[in-house]
A and B are shown apart, each in its own frame.
Chain A
Amino acid sequence: MTESQAIALFKCLADKSRIQILKSLIEEEMYVERLSERLSLTPATISFHLKKLVDVGAVKSRKEQYYTIYSINDDVFNVSILDILREESEEKDLHAERDENYRKKVIDSFFEYGKLKSIPTQRKKERIVLEEIAKAFEPDRSYTEREVNIIIADFHDDFCTLRRDMVAEKLLVRDKNQYKRWP
């Protein structure tokens, strides 16, 4: 377990409702409604906490007919805290992690359910947003301007600005009215 995974796990566990959920799951596997009745919390609240627990790897889920069954992920809890503390923190990894967290924060702020809410004014943030949109383009394919516009319009109505900015940022290359994603 890396240092950042350990921090995420400990942060997630520092909540009474989530500890109660884990205590229930250690007894037996359960689905949302069962946990909801047992802990007197709404199904929506249980789902919210379970998502957090699944994200840090503390809980596993599997589909069974109409239900999603949740169970404890023993592997995570069998790791000794001393082993976690003995792990060396690498500065290089920390920088990469910080960049990745910043990137995720920008994407979460500017995108909602896959749509771009607004075009960032800060260049650094716009670059991240444009890189995210660029993922919708296949690397070795040529696109007409119309095709480019249609793909970008799926994210935001102002496809002209975004297309021009993607070319300026060298995320798209234009050659004789054909566009290609920068390799």
Chain B
Amino acid sequence: MNEKELFDFLDEEKALVLAEVKELASQDRMDESNILKAKSNIYDICKAVFGAATKKASDGNVKDTFLSTFGNITGQWQKSLEQAKAHDDSYKILIEEAKLSAVSEILEKTEDLF
């Protein structure tokens, strides 16, 4: 049941982000629109990781298995953000911040549901 709720949440959030992507493009803010597209991909990545965690978690603790794998992936993005900040790479800062904002929403929802 919780899994369905999480997946519904991911679908809704992705749809909202894609609507914003479209809105920005219609306002001729193409760079911001393209950067936000990176955020929309995170919801699908989360679904794939959660699906794999469900199969992998032998003791039934899907939440811990999911958080561990998802944490490994998103940890790389955090490192990449820090590196981008150190090098004043404004494009990469925006991409990584967009991805990590989706991660925060997902982690908050996971805590609520499981």
Residues of A within 8 A of B (CB): 14-17, 44-45, 47-49, 51-52, 113
Contacts and interface: CB of A to CB of B under 8 A. Distances in A.
B32 interface: yes
B31 A113 contact: no
Tell me the interface secondary structure of chain A in the complex.
Answer: helix
B94 A16 contact: no
A181 to B, nearest CB: 27
Contacts, number: 31
A15 B94 contact: no
A89 to B, nearest CB: 26
B94 A45 contact: yes
Nearest to A52: B31
Interface of B: 27-32, 83, 87, 89-91, 93-94, 97
A16 B27 contact: yes
Q: Which A-B residue pairs are the 10 nearest by beta carbons?
A: A48-B90, A16-B28, A47-B90, A113-B87, A51-B90, A16-B29, A17-B29, A44-B93, A16-B27, A48-B94
Given A44-B97, A113-B83, A15 B90 contact: no
19 contacts: A14-B30, A15-B28, A15-B30, A15-B31, A16-B27, A16-B29, A17-B29, A44-B90, A44-B93, A44-B94, A44-B97, A45-B32, A48-B90, A48-B91, A48-B93, A48-B94, A51-B90, A52-B31, A113-B83
